[in-house]
């Protein structure tokens, strides 16, 4: 099992490598649009933002292709099959399944990056099984590797059908869970931080975020209309808003960049250069923009135990911020850009730096110690892959090696 997870992690490094550039395009494009003396380039900034957003909107698709290629030693047919399969799955997922009774939003199945990983694995398995298949002469054109995208599309329909019935109850359960969190005080803040990261791989963290940031609490500014949600209330001037946001600055500006440094230092000497390129760019992206997926997905599958510890530390960070009355909001994510933009409306924003440095040290030493003590296969420490036989075997499947 761990061998499969490690191989998934290695496969994801290729799509992860493009995320820092996409994050910078997205955040800087959005920021520049709000700078008055840069109005001359508004169209350029819109294009920058749209380009970066496009990458993140299609992250599951990129993961599907990356996993399929990684499990088939770079086979283009497997990558194409994964792309086709994910498009089929996404199309089925987009169908409205259940209309909430109380006039809520229609429920659809959103499997997030987990759906991409599942389709990638499915495409790789079907590639090994059918890449040498022989069809009757009148269907010979569709034989061999051309058959793989076809059978993957059919298999993806089955996955989508299962999700059609299974995923909405999961989404509703998360919705109920989020409603409980926002009313549970300090314990709720902790659970929210843990759940936010724990649900990230399957894309359901957005459900809790929507409740916390746009539904929890009401504030009516003087002479204005009532606004709801921790994020909305913060920028409307509510002095009590921001308890679900301030702690993320400790993680995104300090903790995860420190974790990236620890993983770079723990990489084998021969892997330090490529590992450093990914880790340093990802760490800088997290610090500047608050976009953390490049770092988190780099060790989520390679060292899931570390990801669990990271999720717990996120909960701790939010509790610490609440304890010290650190109320710093953000419009996008908890990076330096949003910190500077929200500074004037924040409570105790300077405390972000000393406490953030403490979290950075905790992350660095915890990751460094755990990686070496338990020989965790973080980026740059993976064992060399064994060569895979590619000899065709007519009439039987070629097993995928893990």
pLDDT of residue 215: 72
Length of the chain: 402
CA distance 137 to 237: 72
pLDDT of residue 296: 94
Domain membership flag for residue 155: no
pLDDT of residue 104: 53
pLDDT of residue 106: 61
Q: Could you tell me where the DSSP H helices lie in 267-380?
A: 272-289, 293-300, 304-323, 336-342, 352-373
8-state DSSP, 347: B
CA distance 121 to 107: 26
pLDDT of residue 394: 44
Take residue 250 and report the two structure tokens written for it.
């400790």
| Contact indicator for 321, 246 with CB cutoff of 8 Å | yes
Domain membership flag for residue 308: yes
CA distance 251 to 353: 11
Domain membership flag for residue 186: yes
CA distance 182 to 191: 10
Domain membership flag for residue 360: yes
pLDDT of residue 401: 36
Domain membership flag for residue 338: yes
What Cα–Cα distance (Å) separates residue 74 from each residue in 44, 61, 65, 68? 35, 16, 10, 8
Range of the domain at 295: 182-387
Low-confidence ranges of the chain (pLDDT < 50): 99-103, 388-402
Domain membership flag for residue 130: no
pLDDT of residue 284: 95
CA distance 77 to 58: 20
Domain membership flag for residue 124: no
Domain membership flag for residue 77: no
pLDDT of residue 1: 58
Count of structural domains, the chain: 1
């Amino acid at each position: 099992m761990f061998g499969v997870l490690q191989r998934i992690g290695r496969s994801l490094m290729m799509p992860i490598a493009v995320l820092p550039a996409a994050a910078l395009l997205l955040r800087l494009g959005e920021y520049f649009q709000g700078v008055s003396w840069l109005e001359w380039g508004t169209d350029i900034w819109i294009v920058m933002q749209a380009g970066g957003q496009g990458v993140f909107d299609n992250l599951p698709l990129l993961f599907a292709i990356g996993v399929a290629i990684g499990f088939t030693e770079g086979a283009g047919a497997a990558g194409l099959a994964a792309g086709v399969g994910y498009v089929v799955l996404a199309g089925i997922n987009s169908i409205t399944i259940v209309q909430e009774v109380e006039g809520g939003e229609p429920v659809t199945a959103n499997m997030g990056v987990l759906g991409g990983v599942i389709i990638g694995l499915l495409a790789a398995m079907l590639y090994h099984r059918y890449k040498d298949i022989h069809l009757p002469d009148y269907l010979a054109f569709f034989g061999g590797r051309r058959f793989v995208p076809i059978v993957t599309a059919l298999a993806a329909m089955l996955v989508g059908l299962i999700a059609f019935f299974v995923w909405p109850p999961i989404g509703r359960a998360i919705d109920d869970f989020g409603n409980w969190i926002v009313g549970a005080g300090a314990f709720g803040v902790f659970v929210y931080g843990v759940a936010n990261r724990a649900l990230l791989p399957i894309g359901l963290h957005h459900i809790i975020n929507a409740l916390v940031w746009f539904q929890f609490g009401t504030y009516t500014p003087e002479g204005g209309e009532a606004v709801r949600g921790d994020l909305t209330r913060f920028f409307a001037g509510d002095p009590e808003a921001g308890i679900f946001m301030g702690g993320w600055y400790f993680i995104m500006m300090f903790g995860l960049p420190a974790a990236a440094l620890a993983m770079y230092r723990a990489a084998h000497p021969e892997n330090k250069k490529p590992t450093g390129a990914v880790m340093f760019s990802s760490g800088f992206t997290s610090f500047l923009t608050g976009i953390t997926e490049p770092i988190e997905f780099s060790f989520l599958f390679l060292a899931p135990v570390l990801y669990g510890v990271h999720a717990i530390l996120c909960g701790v960070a939010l509790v610490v911020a609440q304890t010290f009355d650190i109320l710093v909001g953000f419009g996008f994510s908890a990076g330096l850009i949003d910190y500077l933009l929200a500074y004037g409306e924040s409570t105790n924003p300077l405390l972000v730096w000393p406490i953030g440095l403490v979290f950075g040290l905790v992350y660095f030493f915890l990751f460094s110690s755990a990686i070496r003590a338990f020989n965790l296969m973080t980026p740059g420490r993976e064992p060399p892959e064994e060569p895979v036989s590619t000899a065709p075997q007519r009439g039987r499947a070629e097993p995928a090696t893990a």
